[in-house]
């Protein structure tokens, strides 16, 4: 799927990267997908940036046990003049204490016990919204990474290596 939910009824084919958990039911762009087309988006972690004056320093945020996380998502299929695009958006929640140091939102990370119910079309909206709680800070870690993550042209494992936040140098892991 393409990241950036394009509602099936969209005239211009523009997408929404994220959807706020608090407004899923009321926003026309998301409400139908929330009721009918939910998905899980696997991730090893995510990036956020901390502003200090004019500088923005990227951080990698991941689960404490380094296991993959499942972000709550919604999807839709847009069709226009023979073009078909299946797209999705990540649902966001207010941040926990850890992520809140960097940003005012974070992905809705579903606990394993909720993942099957999230995908079940019979799960009612009240139960679904309860699943979209802010993930506990105690279950997460983060560290600064190279500002090379700022370019989508860069896609390598070494982007996740910790760096010294003050000088941007790679830290020895030994």
H/E segment holding residue 128: helix 125-131
> How far apart, in whole angstroms, are the C-alpha atoms of residue 3 and residue 162?
27
Structure-derived torsion over alpha carbons of residues 72, 45, 114, 6, reported in degrees to the nearest 10: 10
> How far apart, in whole angstroms, are the C-alpha atoms of residue 66 and residue 126?
30
**Per residue in 85-124, pLDDT tens?**
999 999 999 999 999 999 999 999 999 999 999 999 999 9
pLDDT for position 37: 97
**Per residue in 150-170, pLDDT tens?**
998 999 999 999 998 665 444
Domain 2-46+68-136 bears CATH identifier 3.90.1680.10: yes
Structural domain boundaries in the chain = 2-46+68-136
Number of residues in the chain: 174
> Interior CA angle at 131 toward 106 and 30, to 5°?
70
- The structure's pTM equals 0.89
Q: In the block, which residue shows the tokens 């394009």? A: 6
């Amino acid at each position: 799927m393409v990241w950036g939910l394009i509602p099936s009824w969209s005239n211009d084919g523009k997408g929404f990267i994220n959807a706020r958990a608090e407004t899923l039911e009321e926003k026309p762009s998301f409400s139908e997908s929330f009721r009918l087309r939910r998905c899980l988006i696997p991730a090893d972690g995510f990036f956020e940036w901390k502003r200090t004056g004019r500088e923005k320093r990227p951080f990698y945020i991941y689960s404490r046990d380094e296991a993959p996380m499942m972000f709550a998502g919604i999807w839709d299929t847009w069709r226009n003049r023979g073009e078909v695009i299946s797209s999705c958006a990540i649902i966001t929640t207010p941040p926990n204490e850890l992520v809140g140091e960097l940003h005012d939102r974070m992905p809705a990370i579903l606990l394993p016990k909720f993942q099957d119910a999230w995908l079940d079309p019979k799960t009612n909206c009240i139960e679904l919204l309860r699943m979209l709680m802010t993930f506990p800070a105690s279950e997460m870690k983060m560290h600064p990474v190279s500002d090379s993550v700022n370019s989508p042209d860069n896609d390598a494992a070494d982007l996740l290596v910790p760096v010294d936040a003050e000088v941007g140098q790679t830290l020895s892991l030994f």
